[in-house]
Amino acid sequence: MAQQAGAVRLRPPQNAVHPRAITMWTTRSAVAYGLVAVVFLGLAAFADGAGTLFVVLAFLTALAGACYAIVVPRWRYRVHRWEVTDDAVYTSSGWLWHQYRVAPMSRIQTVDTMRGPFYQLFKLSAVTVTTASAMGPLRIDGLDEEFARDLVDRLNRVTQATPGDAT
């Protein structure tokens, strides 16, 4: 079967997110695991007879958090990719099972950015492309904030100029 001219094919995207995303993901993980470890230490101070258990849990949480913060952000940076062409938005994600997704411009309904506290600290943004897909939106996590703003403007211009009803 011959492919139609201009048809969008599923393929691996080419672009990595901004390298600062590694530092943001590492910091966010360390803070989250660190807070849980501190809670366990706080419980150890007030626990009658179970203080040692909470100290062990705090240690194990800190150890797991350190391993996660060292390995996962770097792995995520290597795996997660994105690309925007005139015809579609491509993303890849996943840890053990890689997921490749494509959203044709004619199917895009909304384009949003998200900048939580860690994103703001590291001058990064996440761009979410919503379509009518049952798989949910495509998310590009860890773009430079200025670049993300320009990308959202570009996607809005292209989708408005693309014929179709986005359903």
In-domain check, residue 117: yes
Q: Which pLDDT score, from 0 to 100, does residue 5 have?
A: 46
The total domain count for the chain is 2
Q: Which residues of 76-107 are buried (b: 16+ CB within 10 A; e: fewer)?
A: bbeebbbbbeebbbbbbbeeeeeeebbbbbbb
Q: Is residue 120 classed exposed, middle or buried when 0-12, 13-18 and 19+ CB atoms within 10 A define those classes?
A: exposed
In-domain check, residue 9: no
Locate the DSSP E strands across the chain. 15-16, 81-84, 88-93, 99-104, 108-114, 124-131, 138-144
Q: Sorting pLDDT into bands at 50, 70 and 90, what band is 84?
A: very high
122 and 68 in a single domain? The answer is no
Q: Is residue 160 classed exposed, middle or buried when 0-12, 13-18 and 19+ CB atoms within 10 A define those classes?
A: exposed
- Spatial neighbors of 106 by CB under 8 A, at least 6 apart, are 159, 162, 163, 164, 165, 166
Q: Which of 33, 51, 76 delimits the end of a domain? A: 76
Say how many residues make up the chain.
167
76 vs 115: CA distance, rounded Å: 19
51 or 115: which leads in pLDDT: 115
In-domain check, residue 15: no
Name the DSSP class of 106: G
In-domain check, residue 49: yes
88 and 132 in a single domain? The answer is yes
Which residues span the domain enclosing 64? 21-76
Q: Sorting pLDDT into bands at 50, 70 and 90, what band is 35?
A: very high
107 and 90 in a single domain? The answer is yes
| Domain harbouring 87, CATH code | 2.30.29.30
pTM: 0.84
- Each residue's pLDDT tens digit, 108-163: 999 999 999 999 999 999 999 998 887 889 999 999 999 999 999 999 888 877 66
* Long-range pairs for 88-97: beta carbons < 8 A, 24 or more residues apart: 88/8, 89/129, 89/138, 89/155, 90/10, 90/11, 90/12, 90/13, 91/13, 91/138, 91/139, 91/140, 92/12, 92/13, 93/139
- Each residue's pLDDT tens digit, 70-82: 999 999 999 999 9
| Residue 102 near residue 8 (C-beta atoms within 8 A) | yes
